[in-house]
């Protein structure tokens, strides 16, 4: 095992961090406390593309950069420290890019290149109002009508949903003897609509409900036929869950940085609070949780990079990192005392973001059930 970064990775992370401060942070500051408009979000996307954010995981033969998963993780963590909201958009773009890269040729030709160039924003429709982690219970239905399919249903908690120019939608479908979950690429101008959802945090980006009412989709827009959609989505989640975990690490690291600065400046009883044992104990605990999270997450990404089965590692890492972020931001709030709950200090924002990440890409409870099923050989769901 080698825990050191390569020289190329060191250079990439350093130059990317400086770029983020110079080019992306001004966009973030301009819309702080507001939803970032699509035009501004797309501007950020195009600025980030040369660094592999949005196109880095797609192979070079398909127009991407073909970065390894660990390098993408290193860069993604830096982005999430500057803007968790923009990192959500980038994560979804990368997920959609991976789906399209493995799609039939006609779909790659029509959608992949514009996505990788930042001209199109995509999203993925899985969750529904009554269906969360149990994907097999999806109610959105695709009915064959001649050469087309008619899709009806509602999706919920869809990141990039209101920004999206197209959606990769998971739906139930039947095609002769085959039945089960299928995947379709549906353009907005085919007729789906969306509405933003306001949350306790991460409101700078779009999380939306998406509605389908007999939306007509040509058969050539099918990525996976009925019965094959579930396997495709579960494979995708093995690589995306560690990236959600790295968003949590970024949030936690920001909370730790803010807490260290505050403790070194804030005085009580004639001395800075950094000199108090309880403050130092909290800081120590926060740093350990963050470092342990990173090690688990990069191990999971290394498994993905080497083509090894990584569902166990992805679930363990995502669960630990997101729960750790909740604890770290709670400590940060406590260190800041009364100031921590005021809008003047950023820890309150971090405190509200962290719990959201325990739900994203599979709840903490689902991660435990995945881990238990793999280790025990018995499914509890």
| DSSP code for 111 | I
Instruction: Please tell me which residue in 154, 291, 361, 365 is annotated as part of the active site.
Output: 361
C-alpha–C-alpha distance, residues 187 and 217, integer Å = 9
Return all residues near 309 (Cβ < 8 A) that are at least 6 apart.
Answer: 238, 303
Under DSSP, is residue 166 helix (H, G, I), strand (E, B) or coil? strand
User: Across the chain, which distance is largest between two alpha carbons, in Å?
Assistant: 80
C-alpha–C-alpha distance, residues 68 and 306, integer Å = 9
Q: Which two tokens stand for residue 25?
A: 């942070």
Residue 218, H or E segment: strand 207-218
**How, if at all, do strands 141-145 and 122-125 pair?**
unpaired
Q: Which two tokens stand for residue 204?
A: 């700078």
Q: Which two tokens stand for residue 245?
A: 């975990």
- Under the phi-then-psi rule, with left for phi > 0, alpha for psi from -120 to 50, and beta for the rest, what region is 180? left
361 is catalytic: yes
Active-site amino acid positions = 361
């Amino acid at each position: 095992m080698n825990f050191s970064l390569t020289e190329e990775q060191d250079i990439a992370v350093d130059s990317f961090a400086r770029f983020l401060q110079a080019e992306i942070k001004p966009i973030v500051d301009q819309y702080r406390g507001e939803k970032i408009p699509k035009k501004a979000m797309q501007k950020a996307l195009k600025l980030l593309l040369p660094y592999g954010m949005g196109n880095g995981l797609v192979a070079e033969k398909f127009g991407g950069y073909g970065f390894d998963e660990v390098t993408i993780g290193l860069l993604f963590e830096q982005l999430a420290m500057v803007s968790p909201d923009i990192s959500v958009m980038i994560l979804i773009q990368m997920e959609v890019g991976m789906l399209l890269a493995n799609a039939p040729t006609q779909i790659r030709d029509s959608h992949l290149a514009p996505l990788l160039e930042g001209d199109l924003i995509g999203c993925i429709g899985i969750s529904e109002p009554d269906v969360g982690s149990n994907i097999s219970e999806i109610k959105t239905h695709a009915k064959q009508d001649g050469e087309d399919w008619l899709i009806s249903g509602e999706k919920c908690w869809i990141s990039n949903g209101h920004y999206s120019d197209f959606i990769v939608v998971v739906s139930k479908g039947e095609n002769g003897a085959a039945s089960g979950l299928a995947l379709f690429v549906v353009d907005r101008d085919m007729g789906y609509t969306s509405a933003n959802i306001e949350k306790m945090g991460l409101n700078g980006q779009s999380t939306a409900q998406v509605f389908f009412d007999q939306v007509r989709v040509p058969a050539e827009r099918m990525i996976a036929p009925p019965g094959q959609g579930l396997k495709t989505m579960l494979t995708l989640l093995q690589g995306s869950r560690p990236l959600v975990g790295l968003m949590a690490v970024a949030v936690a690291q920001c909370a730790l940085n803010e807490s260290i600065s505050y403790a070194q400046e804030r005085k009580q009883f004639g001395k800075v609070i950094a000199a108090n044992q309880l403050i130092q104990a909290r800081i120590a605990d926060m740093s350990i949780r963050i470092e342990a999270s990173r090690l688990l997450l990069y191990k999971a990404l290394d498994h993905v990079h080497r083509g090894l089965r990584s569902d166990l590692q992805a679930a363990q890492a995502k669960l630990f990192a997101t729960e750790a972020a909740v604890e770290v931001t709670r400590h940060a709030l406590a260190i800041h005392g009364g100031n921590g709950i005021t809008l003047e200090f950023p820890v309150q924002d971090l405190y509200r973001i962290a719990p959201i990440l325990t739900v994203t890409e599979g709840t903490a409870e689902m991660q435990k059930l995945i881990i238990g099923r793999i280790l025990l050989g018995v499914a509890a769901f």
